[in-house]
Amino acid sequence: MSHLILDIGNSRAKAAIIDDNMIEELYSADCIQKLELDKLCSRHHIDAAIASVVGQQPDFKKILPTDIFNHFHQLSHKSALPISIDYDTPNTLGMDRIAAVVGARVACPSYPLLVVDAGTCITVDLLDQDNCYHGGAILPGMKMKLQALHEYTAALPLVELSEKELDGSCITPSLGNSTRNSIVAGVCNASIYEIQGFIEDYRRQYPSLKLFLTGGDALFFAKRLFFPNFATPSLIMFGLDNILNMNLVNSN
């Protein structure tokens, strides 16, 4: 079956067509546009659709073709899930976090899992070996840290990381020899140390822990963390596809 998968994040929106656990087409933009979505859907025979929304809530009835909207599911804490949730406020839980841990479980059927989604925010989430989600941590992403340094000081510039700085083509300095390099060294290394600290803490509790990285900055961290990991940019998409299959079965 061919599915339309929508991941509406804080700063980017992604749409994918997944058929038989394979991504057939992927589209990413600042926000989902009906015209582009219509073009994407017209190229495929879509049986059902699912969305995870963290950013602004779209009017899916308006932007989805009618035949697809009739087989549409928006992920919520009330959705049928292949995992249990041990979280005090499930109604406030970002559904992208749940989709990511489900995607990691699909890729790794056993072991406790730590899932780091490095985007606008960095989220760290724990799924134990019994498929119970325990929550984790939310911290500012690197871009947010850079913006904060500029906005909350009088003289520090707004620094943007280059593609080479993000994709591992150049070494992140530990000692800045200019104001820009000092900001890069502080923000990048602080983010690495934060995630590394969470990994080491959870490994003490779960020695067989496996690490999954996703999000826009996943490649940056994959090359710098001192722990074997799986970097999977489409982790949320595959998690959503798995959840959609489960909810389609339950609706029949």
Question: Is 79's pLDDT higher than 90?
Answer: yes
Mean pLDDT value of segment 21-34? 88
Instruction: Say whether 217 is catalytic.
Output: no
Q: What is the pLDDT of residue 16?
A: 94
Q: How far apart are CA 77 and CA 130, in angstroms?
A: 19
Would you list the DSSP string of 193-250? HHHHHHHHHHHHH-TT-EEEEESTTHHHHHTT-SS-EEE-TTHHHHHHHHHHHHHHHH
Q: What is the pLDDT of residue 4?
A: 96
Coil, strand or helix: which one is 49? strand
Coil, strand or helix: which one is 170? coil
19-33, 131-145, 150-164, 173-187: least confident range: 19-33
User: What pLDDT, in 10s, does the model give residues 197-245?
Assistant: 999 999 999 999 999 999 989 999 998 998 888 988 899 999 999 999 9
Q: What is the pLDDT of residue 33?
A: 83
Catalytic residue, chosen from 38, 47, 67, 96, is 96
Which distant-in-sequence residues (6+ apart) come within 8 Å of 3 by Cβ?
17, 18, 19, 46, 47, 48, 49, 50, 241, 244
Q: What is the pLDDT of residue 32?
A: 82
Question: Is 65's pLDDT higher than 70?
Answer: yes
Which secondary structure element, helix H or strand E, spans residue 17, and what is its range? strand 13-19
- Helices 179-205 & 142-151, crossing angle to 10 degrees? 140
User: What pLDDT, in 10s, does the model give residues 157-190?
Assistant: 999 999 988 887 788 889 999 999 999 999 999 9
